[in-house]
Amino acid sequence: MGDDAIFYLDGDTVVPTINAQGPWDHGVQHGGAVAGVLARAVEQVPTPVPMRVARFTLDMLRRVPVKPLAVSTEVLRTGKRIQTTRANLYDGDQLVASAVAVSVRTGAEIEVFPDRQPNAPQPPPPGSAEKPLAFNPQESMPEGFPHVVEFDRVDGSFRGGTPSKTWVRLLVPFMRGEETSPLVNLMAMSDFTSGLGSFLPFDQYVSINTDLSIHVLRYPTSSRICIDAETWADADGIGQSRARLYDETGLCALSNASLFIESRSRY
C-alpha cells in the first residue's frame, strides 16, 4: 500500500493504494478514483479512426472497496464516426461500477466562431484569491483521495455554496509508473463537482454522487482543472450538482451528478 500513486497494476488487476479512499466510509473508494480508472480502461480500447471521448457517464452501482479489482471493456458500437465503449469494475464476481463512453472522430477542421458561442469567461487564475481556501483535508477528512489533491479556491468559500470556483490538481500519478493522461486527469477531478459547490456541513451530512456524466468539449492541456460548481438539495434527500470545467486556456467540459443526501446520524 504505497502513497506514491492512486493505483498500481498487478498483472491484469488494478490495486488501489490508500490514496484511492473516499471521505465517507473507511475502505471505500472516492468517486474520482473510480472515474479515473474506468476512463483509463476506455482510453486503451482501439478505435477504427482517430477519435476522442465526447461523453463519459459513470454509474456507481455499489460501494467500491479499496482492494484489488478487475476491469473489463466491451465495444458496444463502432464505426468511422462514433464508437461506444463500456468499462466495468469488478470486486470478485460482483460488478461495482460501470462507465459508458461515446468517442467521436476528430479531424473535421471546421471554422470556429467563438463570438457566436455561449459566453464562458475564464475563471480567476490559480493563486489569485484574496483569502486562500480555508480547507485542509489533513485536518477535516480521513486519509485518502482529497489528501493528494491541491485545492485553490479563487471564488467563494468552502461549503459556502455558490459562487464556487476552485482549481484542483492531482499531486501524484494516477497509475504508478505512468504519466496521467489528460482524459484520466479530467475524469478524476470531475468528481469534485458534487462537493465543491455544496453548502451542507461536512460533519452533519453525507452527500454522495450516485453517478457522474461529463460532456467533453476538448481534452485539457494543463494539469490544473477549475471546477465552477453549483449544488442543489431537496428536502427529501435528493440533490443535483453541475459544473463548468476549465483548464488554464478555457472551457473544456461540462459535468452533472445526482446526489444521495443523508444526515450522518441516520447514515
| 226-264 per-position pLDDT tens digit | 999 999 999 999 999 999 999 999 999 999 999 999 998
Confidence bin at 189 (pLDDT 50/70/90): very high
Q: Is the pLDDT of residue 99 over 80?
A: yes
- CA 190 from chain centre, in angstroms, equals 3
What's the length of the chain? 267
A 10 A CB-CB count for 95 gives 14
Of the CA atoms within 13 Å of residue 221, those in its CB half-sphere come to 6
Q: For residue 262, list its beta bridge partners.
A: 206
Cα dihedral angle (214, 216, 219, 224), rounded to 10 degrees?
A: -50
Q: What integer pLDDT is reported at residue 217 of this predicted model?
A: 97
What backbone phi and psi angles, to 5 degrees, belong to 175? -115, 130
What is the pLDDT averaged over residues 98-105? 98
Q: What is the DSSP letter of 146?
A: G
Q: Which amino acid is residue 195, in one-letter code?
A: G
**pLDDT tens column, 137-187:** 566 667 899 999 999 989 988 778 888 999 999 999 999 999 999 999 999
Q: Is the pLDDT of residue 116 over 70?
A: yes
Q: What integer pLDDT is reported at residue 31 of this predicted model?
A: 96
Helix (H) or strand (E) run with residue 32 in it:
helix 31-43
> How large is the angle between the packed helices 31-43 and 182-190, nearest 10 degrees?
150
Q: Is the pLDDT of residue 1 over 60?
A: no
Q: What integer pLDDT is reported at residue 137 of this predicted model?
A: 57
Q: What integer pLDDT is reported at residue 142 of this predicted model?
A: 72
Q: What is the DSSP letter of 28?
A: B
Q: Is the pLDDT of residue 2 over 90?
A: no
